[in-house]
Amino acid sequence: MRLISLTLLGILMLTMMSCAQFDGMSKGTKGAAGGAAGGAIVGQIIGRSTEATLIGAAVGTMLGYIVGNEMDKQDKQQLNSAFERGPSGQPVTWVNPDSGNNYQVTPQPAYTNQSTNQTCREAEIMATIDGKPQKTKTSACRNAQGEWVLSN
């Protein structure tokens, strides 16, 4: 049973990673791919079991899709600004003028990712989309061009 679960997880991760190479992917699909990878990693770290990894991947996929699908270019610029200039522990808020969606991002202190040697920050995102509150955690790291790129 454990081998089957690990095989399914491997197939899921490979499928998501192969999809990530296409520029034509929707925002929701990109968010789901990042969420699945991040959720699987967090699930494994917390639960140290295949079941926890699969649950983490499923939850990450759902949250990543929701946030990725609903954030447009202006929202992503605001999110990038929160990672760049937001004081640690202090919420940065905005309302999308087109959709009416509300966002509150609370960035945490920057740290150096030891495996990639990149500067990264975690943040909690509270979003009200179509009147429904949603909460997720994400992290972003600076790429070679100095831009913040979501890592989960």
pLDDT in tens, 17-35: 444 444 445 555 666 666 7
Residues 102, 139 within the same domain: yes
Residues 109, 136 within the same domain: yes
Domain count, the chain: 2
135: in domain: yes
Residues 7, 65 within the same domain: yes
26: in domain: yes
> How far apart are the C-alpha atoms of 30 and 51, rounded to whole Å?
24
Residues 98, 65 within the same domain: no
pTM for the full model? 0.54
Residues comprising the chain, all counted: 152
| Token pair in block for residue 135 | 């909460």
Residues 59, 108 within the same domain: no
Residues 48, 95 within the same domain: no
Residues 65, 92 within the same domain: no
Q: Which amino acid, 110?
A: A
17: in domain: yes
> How far apart are the C-alpha atoms of 32 and 115, rounded to whole Å?
23
DSSP 49-104: SHHHHHHHHHHHHHHHHHHHHH--HHHHHHHHHHHHHPPTT--EEEE-TTT--EEE
Residue tagged 């600076």 (tokens): 142
CA angle 19, 81, 99 (to 5 degrees): 70
74: in domain: no
96: in domain: yes
Residues 6, 64 within the same domain: yes
77: in domain: no
The greatest distance separating any two alpha carbons of the chain, rounded to the nearest whole angstrom, comes to 50
Going residue by residue through the chain (152 aa), what tens digit of pLDDT does each one get?
444 444 444 444 444 444 444 444 555 566 666 677 777 777 778 777 777 787 777 777 777 766 666 566 788 888 889 999 999 999 999 998 888 889 999 999 999 999 889 999 999 999 998 888 999 999 999 988 888 888 75
79: in domain: no
Q: Which structural domain, as residue segments, surrounds residue 63?
A: 2-69
**102-126 pLDDT tens trace:** 999 999 999 999 988 999 999 999 9
Contact 91, 104 (CB under 8 A): yes
| Token pair in block for residue 62 | 């759902």
- C-alpha neighbours within 13 Å on the C-beta side of residue 44: 9
19: in domain: yes
